[in-house]
Amino acid sequence: MQNTVYVLNGPNLNLLGLREPEIYGHTTLDEIAGMLEDEARKHGLTIDMRQTNHEGMLVDWLHEAQAEGARAVLLNAAAYTHTSIALLDAIKAITTPVIEVHLSDPNTRETFRHVSYVGMAAAKTVEGHGADSYRIALETVASGEV
C-alpha cells in the first residue's frame, strides 16, 4: 500500500459545491476525488478518498493509514481543525506524514479559525487555493517533499 495516499475529509465537506460556494467554491467532493485520481495516476499513486462528519472516524482512519502503510494522508479536517486535540494526538501518534488541506485560507476568516490543532502536528499545510489545494498537496507527496 506504499503508493496509496489517504484523503480524509471532515464534517460538512459532503456538501461542497452547495455549502457557502462564495467561500468553498462550486466544486463537489466527488469532482475533487476525480481530479485527484487523475493526478495520482500520473505519479504512480492511488487515492483512498473518504469523508465523515464524525471526529472519531477521522482518528480511526489516521490509525488505519499508519497500519496499512499509506504513503501519506491529505487531511481536510474542516471545523475539527480548530477544535480537535484528538486529531492532534492521532497525527502525533503516527509516522505517516499528514498534510493539512484547506480550500479557503483560515487566517483570513473568523479569529476562531486562526488556531489549527491539525497544523501543530502536520508535516505541511496547503490552504487558500480552493479545490486546487488538494492537487498541490498531492504533488507535494509525489515530489517526495513529505
Out of 6, 24, 80, 134, which one is annotated catalytic? 24
User: What's at 67, amino acid-wise?
Assistant: A
Cα pseudo-dihedral 98, 142, 135, 1, rounded to 10: -60
> Minimal CA–CA distance to 46: which of 36, 57, 60?
36
Cα 112 from Cα 26, distance rounded (Å): 24
Out of 80, 102, 117, 134, which one is annotated catalytic? 102
Cα pseudo-dihedral 28, 59, 4, 40, rounded to 10: 20
Cα 48 from Cα 40, distance rounded (Å): 11
Q: Is 54 a catalytic residue?
A: no
Q: Is 102 a catalytic residue?
A: yes
Length of the chain: 146
The residues carrying an active-site annotation are: 24, 102
